[in-house]
Amino acid sequence: MFAVSAVRADKDDPLAALELGERPEPETPESWTTVQVRAASLNHHDLWSLRGVGLSADRLPMILGCDAAGVAEDGSEVIVHGVVGDPEAGGGDETLDPRRSLLSERWPGTFAERVRVPRRNLVPKPAALTFEQAACLPTAWLTAYRVLFDRAGLRPGQTVLVQGAGGGVATAAIALGRAAGVRVWVTSRSEAKRAAALELGADQAFESGQRLPERVDAVLESVGQATWAHSLRALRPGGTIVVVGATSGEAPSAELNRVFFLQLSVVGSTMGSREQLAALARFTEVSGVRPVIDRVLPLSRAREGFAAMAADELFGKVVFTP
Ligand X SMILES: NC(=O)c1ccc[n+]([C@@H]2O[C@H](COP(=O)([O-])OP(=O)(O)OC[C@H]3O[C@@H](n4cnc5c(N)ncnc54)[C@H](OP(=O)(O)O)[C@@H]3O)[C@@H](O)[C@H]2O)c1
Contacts with ligand X by CB under 6 A lie at: 43-45, 48, 139-140, 143, 164-170, 188-190, 193, 208, 222-223, 226-227, 244-245, 247-248, 269-271, 309, 312, 314
- Report the alpha-carbon distance of residue 148 to residue 225 in Å, rounded: 21
User: What minimum distance in Å lies between the beta carbon of 258 and ligand X?
Assistant: 20
The edge-to-edge listing of strands for the beta sheet with 62-63 is: 18-22, 2-6, 62-63
Nearer to ligand X, 188 or 273 (CB): 188
Nearer to ligand X, 37 or 173 (CB): 173
User: What minimum distance in Å lies between the beta carbon of 113 and ligand X?
Assistant: 24
3-state secondary structure the chain: CEEEEECCCCCCCHHHHEEEEECCCCCCCCCCEEEEEEEEECCHHHHHHHCCCCCCHHHCCEECCCCEEEECCCCCEEEECCEECCHHHCCCCHHHCCCCEECCCCCCCCCECEEEECHHHEEECCCCCCHHHHCCHHHHHHHHHHHHHHHCCCCCCCEEEECCCCCHHHHHHHHHHHHCCCEEEEEECCHHHHHHHHHHCCCEEEECCCCCCCCEEEEEECCCCCCHHHHHHHEEEEEEEEECCCCCCCCCCCCHHHHHHCCCEEEECCCCCHHHHHHHHHHHHHHCCCCCEEEEEEHHHHHHHHHHHHCCCCCCEEEEEC
Nearer to ligand X, 72 or 292 (CB): 292
User: What minimum distance in Å lies between the beta carbon of 70 and ligand X?
Assistant: 21
User: What minimum distance in Å lies between the beta carbon of 102 and ligand X?
Assistant: 8
User: What minimum distance in Å lies between the beta carbon of 24 and ligand X?
Assistant: 28
User: What minimum distance in Å lies between the beta carbon of 66 and ligand X?
Assistant: 9
* Residues 181/170, Cβ–Cβ less than 8 Å: no
Nearer to ligand X, 23 or 146 (CB): 146
CA angle 83, 88, 93 (to 5 degrees): 40
User: What minimum distance in Å lies between the beta carbon of 34 and ligand X?
Assistant: 25
Nearer to ligand X, 38 or 146 (CB): 146
Nearer to ligand X, 81 or 193 (CB): 193
Nearer to ligand X, 43 or 159 (CB): 43
Nearer to ligand X, 198 or 226 (CB): 226
User: What minimum distance in Å lies between the beta carbon of 231 and ligand X?
Assistant: 11
User: What minimum distance in Å lies between the beta carbon of 255 and ligand X?
Assistant: 18
Nearer to ligand X, 23 or 227 (CB): 227
Per-residue b or e along 236-271, where b marks 16 or more CB atoms closer than 10 Å to that residue's CB: eeebbbbbbbbbeeeebeeeeeeeeebebeebebbb
